[in-house]
Amino acid sequence: MPLSSSRRSGSAGALERKEKGVKTARFGRLTALGAAALAAAAAVTAPVAAGTPGSAGDPATTQVRLITFNDLHGNLEPPAGSSGSVTLPDGSSVEAGGAQYLATHVKRLREQVPDSLVLSAGDNVGASPVNSALFHDEPTIAFLNQLGVTTSVVGNHEFDEGFEELRRMSDGGCHPVDGCQFRESFPGADFEQLGANVTFDDGRPALKPFDVRTVGGTRVGIIGATLEDLPSVVAPGAIEGLKFGDEVEAINRTSRVLDGMGVKAQVVLLHQGDATEGGGPDDCDLTPGGPAAAIAQAASPNVDVIFSGHSHSQYSCTIDDPAGNPRPVLQGASYGRLLSVADLTIDRATQDVVRGESRARNEIVTRDVPADPDAQALIDEAATKAAPIANRPVGSITADLPRAGAPSGESPLGDVIADAQFEATAANSPQVAITNPGGIRADLLFPGSPNGEGDGVVTYGEAFAVQPFGNIMQTMTLTGAQLKAVLEQQWTPEETNVLQVSAGLRYSYSASAPIGSKVTEISINGQPVDPNAPYRISVNNFLAGGGDGFTEFTKGTDIAGGPVDLDAFLAYLDAHPGIAPPPADRITTLP
């Protein structure tokens, strides 16, 4: 969403593109190459990080530190509520996160081990707070450049605004519609964005599969793979013309290329992760059957450490590779609250990692350190420029509206958003509105912020943080049987994903019943749902396209458009001052 309606002139935009021509052309050439040529190009053009080659008097090994974060999502300011704390092993928590503190921790870690690389496991941008999102996440890219990030894998949110916007994030240039609104120009990312399993429909690689960095006198190969299921969590139009392949196949194929180049120290940035059942930052209480553990068990033994992301979990595990050798697999929560640190011991003669002498852990980004002045200046700049919109009051609440809630999966904030979407699509005569919990990105908290708006006041920035995607509302017709099928799709063997529903819909589900037969007693406005009758259902376009695995929505007919989901939420806040948490009575759990 633009800060204003002003647009950069065509001539100025053309000049910007011309100035960035070399970088843009490099991206374009790489995406047109075949796999073998791409590998060769990467070997030639890979940037070199600081490091002193070994000499005859050096010891037999060298130490290289990898510092990685994941799922920053443009959180420059310290995140609030539960999103701004880290759970410790004893169940207590400590405040964490904030770009100014992240930068301080990274600098200290690099000072301890000068031969270091700073990496990202994806979702640097997208679903961002207003002070980054208003400017198409250009402030976040500026921060990552400032931080010295060398390499990142693309996450699903890098594709939120489409592949061309991902290219712009890499290569620079002003936004084609909104121009440059954060600063007069946008130079793009100083770091590589990888995707070994991302291709065009015709099989050509869409992104570089790996990066090679020389550090500590040795070459480190960095492989990037994003989740194969990315199409299920991104709007179809954003990834049109792209395919996402099997993660293990892509990792192993790329590892063989690196091995053939003589690059023995290999690292994977994997934008896929597992859920946990508790524990602190360095515990490994993974929920059984998760995708990241399965990938780690199958990925090439040549890979020495795997940094994961996507699930916003915290864990530090050791998982055996296919050869039976243990290797670290880490994830650092989200929003810049943890740094995943791997200290690798590398044999100078073989150039390979000595697994038994390497260590990995998660470090909490505490806020008890001095704020990095450069990062703080960038945060202040973004906040000042966003303030006229971000601090505008748009509504009020009487208590916290959290996005997590009852054991049934129903949440106070989810109820309010579904009600807002129902009301906003009234012209389409809906009977029910349904929204996905993954589209609700932050709690709406009662206490006032440091901006001074006061307790209970909801600002535009706070509302934006809750609904940042800009999805379009749609109303469709489903039969009662199709509505039940939608509700049954909330449970899969891998996960439970409870949809949030508007006030008119009631149903029960049995936790012990088999998948596909859990839902009973569905009613709309007090009347049992007839399997053969038509019902008008309002959803966002992400769900309408089958997102999050809710493929039954794609069978909807008589589709009518509606407003942007954020606009629906803003209108509801304006029309209903003093919103209280609704009772959790729409979804009933049975044994």
* Residue 5 confidence (pLDDT): 26
Whether residues 368 and 424 fall in one domain? no
Whether residues 344 and 467 fall in one domain? no
Whether residues 349 and 211 fall in one domain? yes
Query: What is the DSSP-derived secondary structure letter of residue 230?
Result: G
Mean pLDDT, residues 141-165 taken together? 97
Q: How confident is the model at residue 59 (pLDDT cuts 50, 70, 90)?
A: confident
Residue 485 lies in a domain: yes
Task: State phi, psi for 17 to the nearest 5 degrees.
Answer: -65, -40
Asked if residue 63 has pLDDT above 60, the reply is yes
Whether residues 369 and 420 fall in one domain? no
Last residue of a domain, one of 342, 373, 404: 373
Mean pLDDT, residues 338-364 taken together? 97
CA–CA gap between residue 49 and residue 219 (Å, rounded): 10
Residue 378 lies in a domain: no
* Residue 41 confidence (pLDDT): 39
Residue 4 lies in a domain: no
Asked if residue 401 has pLDDT above 90, the reply is yes
Please report the sign of the dihedral spanned by the C-alpha atoms of residue 156, residue 233, residue 226, residue 443: positive
3-state secondary structure 160-186: CCCHHHHHHHHHCCCECCCECCCCCCC
Quote the tokens at residue 78: 């310290």
* Residue 449 confidence (pLDDT): 87
Residue 14 lies in a domain: yes
Residue 54 lies in a domain: no
CA–CA gap between residue 249 and residue 230 (Å, rounded): 16
pLDDT of 454-504, one tens digit each?
999 999 999 999 999 989 999 999 999 999 999 999 999 988 999 999 999
Domain housing 271: 10-48+61-373
Q: How confident is the model at residue 58 (pLDDT cuts 50, 70, 90)?
A: low
CA–CA gap between residue 429 and residue 476 (Å, rounded): 10
Smallest Cα–Cα separation from 109: which of 142, 81, 67? Answer: 67
Q: Which CATH number does the domain housing residue 495 bear? A: 3.90.780.10
CA–CA gap between residue 499 and residue 437 (Å, rounded): 6
pTM comes to: 0.84
Mean pLDDT, residues 148-169 taken together? 97
Whether residues 204 and 122 fall in one domain? yes
Whether residues 365 and 437 fall in one domain? no
What mean pLDDT value characterizes the chain? Answer: 90
Residue 3 lies in a domain: no
* Residue 270 confidence (pLDDT): 98
Integer-rounded Cα radius of gyration of the chain: 24
Asked if residue 104 has pLDDT above 80, the reply is yes
Whether residues 207 and 242 fall in one domain? yes
Asked if residue 3 has pLDDT above 80, the reply is no
Whether residues 277 and 410 fall in one domain? no
Whether residues 441 and 365 fall in one domain? no
Residue 2 lies in a domain: no
The count of domains in the chain is 2
Residue 487 lies in a domain: yes
pLDDT of 82-93, one tens digit each?
889 999 999 999
Whether residues 510 and 571 fall in one domain? yes
Mean pLDDT, residues 199-224 taken together? 97
Smallest Cα–Cα separation from 361: which of 345, 377, 379, 339? Answer: 339
Whether residues 442 and 569 fall in one domain? yes
Asked if residue 1 has pLDDT above 60, the reply is no
Residues 6+ apart with CB under 8 A from 37: none
Whether residues 318 and 412 fall in one domain? no
CA 480 to chain centroid, in Å, comes to: 34
Q: Which CATH number does the domain housing residue 242 bear? A: 3.60.21.10
